[in-house]
Amino acid sequence: MQFIDLALIHIRSGTGGSGCSSFRREKFIEFGGPDGGDGGKGGNVVIRAVSNLNTLIDFKYKRHYFAKNGRPGMGQNKTGANGDDVILNVPVGTEVLLENKKTVLVDLIHEGQQYVIAEGGNGGWGNSRFKSSTNQAPRQANKGHSGSELTLWLKLKLLADVGLVGLPNVGKSSLLSAMSNAKPKIGDFSFTTLTPNLGLVSYKQGDFILADIPGVIEGANRGKGIGIQFLGHIERCQVLVHVLDISSDSLISDFEVTINELKQYKSDLVSKIKCVVLNKVDVMKNKKIEKIVESFNKSGIEVFPISTFSRVGINELKDRLLELLKKNNRVEAKRNGRTEKWSPI
């Protein structure tokens, strides 16, 4: 299925039904009085997060969603039927933004969470509502209130605990495959990964979600390459893992390129908890690896030499990521006055 993470939709809630102007007519009742009922309420447009979706592709082919209008009131004080709601199911992690792409109406981050994005208009009053001591036979009845009409953007940001970032062809997809249950496409060429991939890492007493996004190249924040399209998917990650190819002749420069692109895209991405993974250590001698690790450690950066081919260092990386996630959750819980333990799944 094609991965779509941005969609433009047009919605309209239902108009309320008109009130009824009617008078009671029964045998032997000469002055029955007004008995016109109210109109029904217009249908709402509701957006709901569900766990069985992971793309916004449905909204690529259908962009207009209109709720039903309320039915008019009837005699004998019968209220018209309410209009049917329209419920839009979206993946968990979807933001709903106004047309300007700046104002966020709601961020749906929990399964089952729903939000009324356009409320239906109220039904009009029937003439029985207008009866008074001075007007025993009113003929007045109101029209229903109009619904709301909006153009909105749906933006999907995947929910993951750990995000893998780095240049193309450094082994991010191989690392995802080695650590989780995911089976991404792997190839020895740039931009093998064209869409984000998620995998569940089950290890010891903890589980967490690992995300792999397409490679980021220099100039990505200005639209170069394809990585910029998917950087939003790591905004929710607690930890970022910078994957580097240890055999690269410009190792430090490669790391700086990724850091700079993240900073240019959104400055707070750089402040996230991070560590560096040096992949493909099986092609280099230990002494050279130690020197590279030492140079990173001097800058205060935690480094993990690994090989996705021989599985060297994979378990050590899992241990550390679990530790970082639990530690970060304790900090967040204390900041928000919570005491529950971290449970990513």
Condensed to tens digits (0 to 9), the pLDDT of residues 95-123 reads 999 999 889 999 999 999 999 999 999 99
* pLDDT band of 145, cuts 50, 70, 90: very high
Write phi, then psi, for 156 (nearest 5 degrees): -90, 125
Residue 34 predicted with pLDDT over 70: yes
Judge whether residue 336 has pLDDT over 60.
no
Read off the pLDDT of residues 220-236 as tens digits, 9 standing for 90 and up.
Answer: 555 555 555 677 788 88
pLDDT at 25 over 90: no
Residue 154 has pLDDT above 90, yes or no: yes
Choose between 46 and 191: higher pLDDT. 46
Domain ranges of the chain: 6-156, 162-335
pLDDT of residue 300: 86
| High-pLDDT (> 90) share of the chain, % | 44
pLDDT digits (tens, 9 = 90+) for 258-314: 888 888 888 888 888 889 999 988 888 888 888 888 888 888 889 999 998 888 999
What residues contact 161, with CB distance under 8 A and at least 6 apart? 208, 209, 210, 237, 238, 239, 325, 344
Label residue 330 exposed, middle or buried (CB < 10 Å: 0-12, 13-18, 19+): middle
- The chain-wide mean pLDDT, for the chain, equals 85
Evaluate whether the domain defined by 162-335 bears CATH number 3.40.50.300: yes
pLDDT of residue 341: 47
For residue 30, which phi and psi values (nearest 5 degrees)?
A: -75, -45
pLDDT of residue 194: 58
pLDDT digits (tens, 9 = 90+) for 161-183: 999 998 888 888 889 988 988 77
Q: What is the mean pLDDT of residues 142-170?
A: 91
For residues 243-271, give the mean pLDDT.
87
User: Closest Cα partner for 257 from 163, 191, 168, 162?
Assistant: 168
pLDDT at 43 > cutoff 50: yes
Least confident piece of the model among 19-23, 215-219, 290-294: 215-219
β-pairing verdict for 273-279 and 239-245: parallel
The residue among 165, 192, 193 whose CA lies nearest residue 256 is 165
First-to-final CA distance of the chain: 24
Residues 250 and 256: their CA atoms lie apart, in Å, by 10
Q: What is the pLDDT of residue 337?
A: 56
Query: What pTM did the predictor assign?
Result: 0.74
How much is the pLDDT for 192?
47
Q: Which CATH number is associated with domain 6-156?
A: 2.70.210.12
pLDDT given for residue 244 in this prediction: 92
Percent of the chain with pLDDT over 70: 87
